[in-house]
Amino acid sequence: MQLDLSERERTILAVLIDHYVRTAEPVGSRVIATKYDLGVSPATVRNTLSDLEEKGLIEQPHTSAGRIPTETGYRLYVDKLLKSERLSASEREKIKRALSIDYSAIEDILEQTSRVLARLTSQLGVTITPKFDQAVLNKVDLVQLTDTRVMVIVAVRSGIVRTILIEVDSNIEVERLRQTADVLNEKLSGLSLGEIRRTIAERLRAEERGDPQVLKLFMEQHDHLLSESSGDELHTEGTMNILSQKEFQNPEKLREFLTLLEERHSLIDLLKIKTFANDITVTIGAEANIEGMKGCSAVTRSYQAGQIRGTVGVIGPTRMEYAKLMSLVDYTAKVLSEILSR
């Protein structure tokens, strides 16, 4: 954002936003002049606030009230004025310990990550399952559960394991099932899931080993068996945190946000599109181009599982402690990447 601000304007804008984030109350010139040692008079503060208002960085919600930041003001604050905040050793240890859990599927640790972020930030914790198209298949296992049900265990090189149940017409001998798994591993191991989906029919069509019924199911249902996600890609925790925020005491605003959480698709698209490489991304209000995100911000970062990426972050009102949340999300994403890439 290119706005020519004096040093005094930058200082007073930062003080106003810091105070508003802590109190949720509009900030007047007298509060800034008396509570903060800026070395200027209340009249100077008042004139500076008027200048900041003219530049669209703050606004007066009511005529007699103090000022609050606009979304433009928050953007300039995050981009130009924010001081980075390091996590303490105990905070880092708490995150590591909370994420070092035994998990049999990536959904387990992503749900836990959302839970940890919600608890530490008092916002809505969100995670998105990685896009599996580029994941490389490591191994397929087939386990007979009943006469007509077989569990398919798909493991990719990032260490992520997913399980799917398939129905078969009749009982398959254990040895026959093992041979089928051997065929699948011989033909498909080492290929990306996207490549497998595109070429699986060609690779298995003439195969005479293994159980033809299971091989046929793989050819016909490859989109389901090797899909990019199982169920919802988005994991959220901390809805009660949102309900307790002052901004959501407005029933209409709350309804819009809850509708966004229920529909999910727009939110998933936003979090995927707005998150780049290993950078922390802050999306403020109208920048999201989503009705339910007006007055809200998202702090996100990508995490890595082998060769594939997902998204982790928090969502809450624009009145949030950006420096603290950016540090928490950044460190959580790094720890999650380490765990998933081992």
Whether the Cβ atoms of residue 197 and residue 218 lie closer than 8 Å to each other: no
Number of residues that make up the chain: 342
Q: Which residues contact 154 (CB under 8 A, 6 or more apart)?
A: 137, 140, 161, 162, 163, 164, 225, 226
Please give the CATH number for the structural domain made up of 133-225.
3.30.390.60
The pLDDT score that the predictor gives to residue 57 is 97
CA neighbours closer than 13 Å in the CB half-sphere of residue 9: 19
Q: Where are the domains of the chain?
A: 7-81, 89-130+232-340, 133-225
Q: Tell me the β-bridge partners of 69.
A: 58
Strand boundaries in 97-233, DSSP class E? 124-128, 137-146, 149-156, 161-167
Q: How far apart are CA 254 and CA 324, in angstroms?
A: 25
In a structure prediction context, what are the per-residue pLDDT tens digits for the chain, which is 342 residues long? 557 899 999 999 999 999 999 999 999 999 999 999 888 888 999 999 999 999 999 999 887 779 999 999 999 999 999 988 999 999 999 999 999 877 666 778 899 999 999 999 999 999 987 766 667 888 888 887 887 788 878 777 766 677 778 777 777 778 888 888 888 888 888 888 778 878 887 887 777 787 777 787 777 766 666 655 444 478 899 999 988 888 888 888 888 888 888 878 888 888 876 666 668 999 999 998 888 898 899 999 999 876 677 899 999 999 999 999 999 999 999 999 888 876
Q: How far apart are CA 339 and CA 162, in angstroms?
A: 16
Beta sheet of 234-237, edge-to-edge order: 234-237, 124-128, 308-317, 296-305, 281-284
* Three-state DSSP state, 43: helix
Is the domain spanning 89-130+232-340 CATH 3.40.50.300? The answer is no
Which tokens in the block code for residue 182?
């051997």
Cα-flanking dihedrals φ and ψ of residue 147, to 5°? -60, -30
Please tell me the pTM assigned to this model. 0.77
The pLDDT score that the predictor gives to residue 291 is 82
The one-letter amino acid code at 255 reads R
Topology of the domain comprising 7-81: Arc Repressor Mutant, subunit A (1.10.10)
CA-closest candidate to residue 226, choices 142, 164, 315: 164
Contacts by 45-50, CB closer than 8 A, 24 or more apart: 45/12, 48/8, 48/9, 48/12, 49/12, 49/16
Q: How far apart are CA 304 and CA 334, in angstroms?
A: 8
The pLDDT score that the predictor gives to residue 231 is 42
Q: How many CB atoms lie within 10 A of CB 199?
A: 14
